[in-house]
Amino acid sequence: MGTSGLGRRVLGPLCAVLLAAGLLAAAPPGASAEAPFDGGRTRFSGTPVPTGQTDGPVWAVEVAGGRIYAGGEFTSTRPSGAAAGARETGQGALAAFDADTGAPIDSFSPRFGTFEDDAVPTVWATALSPDGSRLYVGGNFNSVDGQEARRIAVFDTASGRFLGQVGRNGVDGQVTALAASPDGTTLYAGGQFTQANNTRRVRTAAFDVTTPDGTGGALREWSPQLSGTIDFVGGAPKEALRVVSLAVSSDNARVFVAGPFREVNGTPMQGFAATYEGDGSLVPGFRGDYFSVPYGWGTAVEVAGDEVYVGARDDGTSGLTRREGVYSLDSTTGAETWYLNCYGDTFGLQVVGADLYVASHAHDCSANGGHPETSPRTYLAIEAVNRATGRVKPYFVQTSGATQKTRLLSRALASDGRQLVMGGGYARVNERLQGNLTRFRTGSAAPQGVVAPQVSTCRGCRQVRVRVPLAFDRDDVRLRYEIIRRNQTGQPVRRIARQSVIWRKGAIVFRDRGPARGSRVFYRVRVSDPTGATRLSGRSRTVRVGRP
């Protein structure tokens, strides 16, 4: 959770012209006059659509079989719009929601048990089989529907049917990361365990899952050895030694491991390593210091084609050496393609087409063309990033009202191409009540914050001063403002383009010399984004021009 980064001032030609003409108010001190975001469009709207909710954090999400699966530390779900405690289902740990409507699926109701009577069964990690037909879940539980399932279980995604425990005896400690190989033969697991199938496997294990139901049985050799606790400033242990994310290269040859560790197989590797899928040995070429030594560590790994994306957090390093953003690396050589230098810990990654979506609480992405540090601080729950360049795109999703045990808000992302699903620990999304789970459809939302202009004139004046407060858009920065006199919506008296962002206050000021002396006029403003999504303000007050 970093401190402020370096902001930027960029003054575009359009703004310079408008300022010179007296048509645009100057930006407030410390604010950028132009938003330097990547010009490409994002696939998803920044405004959520109705989705069921949970009463506790969602740590993992998947979309498959016409369903959204959410796993976490919750004990119940409820429909979209329902207040906490209303219309609760009592479905905990793992729940399903209709992928079209977002409504909870009541017929999916697996019951998880734990070894400790007072513990809340928790799903920390999920993974899909390559064909999307099976859902693997890992966490802290020992049974599903009364059947043994020691911390790893598998479900049919289309029906939600519990298929069984993965492995002959599961594992003896929490599972916090899962990944299925692209060829569907192997399930990789990471966490805080010391045995798998009653065989020594410390924090990492791999299961053969070639059986028809995907439950598997035999252990594979892969089990890299992790060591070195991540300490906080002053040397106090901050994070338990474990794996938090796993991913497998597209050719099945390499397994990527991330978590709060400092060594792998006795070699310094700060929070991230690439290993061979066979024996778990290290792949040459991958550095041991992508992240800040000694406090940084990898939190999320996502593979797409020949690239592997790795996000991180850092609770100790100060200054510009802190690494909390995302690396894009060649998945074979470890060569760096780009680094997204955002401040604010990263927790989830999802590739969709040409974009990489990043779940975090970023507060300064100015080094990569995103939002600057502001006061008070502006946090974004998701950044959209151009995969080719590493530059930030306009996408302004915000969460607030963290639930107990986490103030880290957005934690997991998933997509089927039609929608982006976000899980985490929050009570609101874009200032509207929505507990811990939400989703965004493809398209663009209309501008927000569109209010009636403020107008004034003076005794004997033959003009009206029209002040238009800046609006904002959740998925665009290039907005067009059309100032409308009276009800002449088809003939705006002035059109002005202005880059607008949610954290920047300000206004466009226009002096209208068109009305006849003695006439009474009022104004509206119509604001539109590049897709044509439009919002019309209400009426200003009416003023009389050139009154004696």
Let me know if residue 40 belongs to a domain. Answer: no
**377 plus 513 within the same structural domain:** no
Let me know if residue 3 belongs to a domain. Answer: no
Let me know if residue 5 belongs to a domain. Answer: no
Helices (H), ranges, 394-542: none
* pLDDT tens digits in sequence order for the chain, 548 residues long: 443 333 332 333 333 333 333 333 333 333 344 567 887 889 999 999 999 999 999 999 999 999 999 999 999 999 999 988 899 999 999 999 999 999 999 999 999 999 877 788 999 999 999 999 999 999 999 999 999 999 999 999 999 999 999 998 899 999 999 999 999 999 999 999 999 999 999 999 999 999 887 777 799 999 999 999 988 776 666 789 999 999 999 999 999 999 999 999 999 999 999 999 999 999 999 999 999 999 999 999 999 999 999 999 997 887 778 899 999 999 999 999 999 999 999 999 999 999 999 999 999 999 999 999 999 999 999 999 999 999 999 999 999 986 545 555 899 999 999 999 999 999 999 999 999 999 999 999 999 999 999 999 988 888 999 999 999 999 999 999 999 999 999 999 999 999 999 998 899 999 999 999 889 999 999 999 999 999 999 999 999 998 65
**529 plus 412 within the same structural domain:** no
| Three-state secondary-structure class, residue 340 | strand
Report the domain count for the chain.
2
**102 plus 17 within the same structural domain:** no
Let me know if residue 2 belongs to a domain. Answer: no
Let me know if residue 416 belongs to a domain. Answer: yes
The answer, as to whether pTM is greater than 0.85, is: yes
Other Cβ atoms less than 10 A from the Cβ of 29: the count is 5
φ, ψ of residue 432 to 5 degrees: the values are -110, 145
Let me know if residue 122 belongs to a domain. Answer: yes
Tell me which of 441, 470, 503 is where a domain ends. Answer: 441
Tell me which of 441, 467, 499 is where a domain ends. Answer: 441
Let me know if residue 1 belongs to a domain. Answer: no
CATH assignment at residue 538: 2.60.40.10
Helix (H) or strand (E) holding 14: helix 13-20
Helix (H) or strand (E) holding 260: none
CATH assignment at residue 178: 2.130.10.10
Q: CB-based burial of residue 113 (10 Å sphere; 0-12 exposed, 13-18 middle, 19+ buried)?
A: middle
**424 plus 483 within the same structural domain:** no
Which residues partner with 22 through β-bridges?
Answer: none
**423 plus 474 within the same structural domain:** no
Let me know if residue 47 belongs to a domain. Answer: no
**253 plus 373 within the same structural domain:** yes
> Cα–Cα distance between 434 and 423 in angstroms, integer?
11
**273 plus 148 within the same structural domain:** yes
**253 plus 230 within the same structural domain:** yes
Tell me which of 441, 457, 492 is where a domain ends. Answer: 441
**376 plus 522 within the same structural domain:** no
**23 plus 73 within the same structural domain:** no
Segments of 181-278 assigned E as strands: 186-192, 195-196, 199-200, 204-208, 226-227, 245-248, 254-258, 263-264, 267-268, 272-276
Helix (H) or strand (E) holding 79: none
Q: Which domain holds residue 524?
A: 13-34+447-544
**365 plus 484 within the same structural domain:** no
**134 plus 226 within the same structural domain:** yes
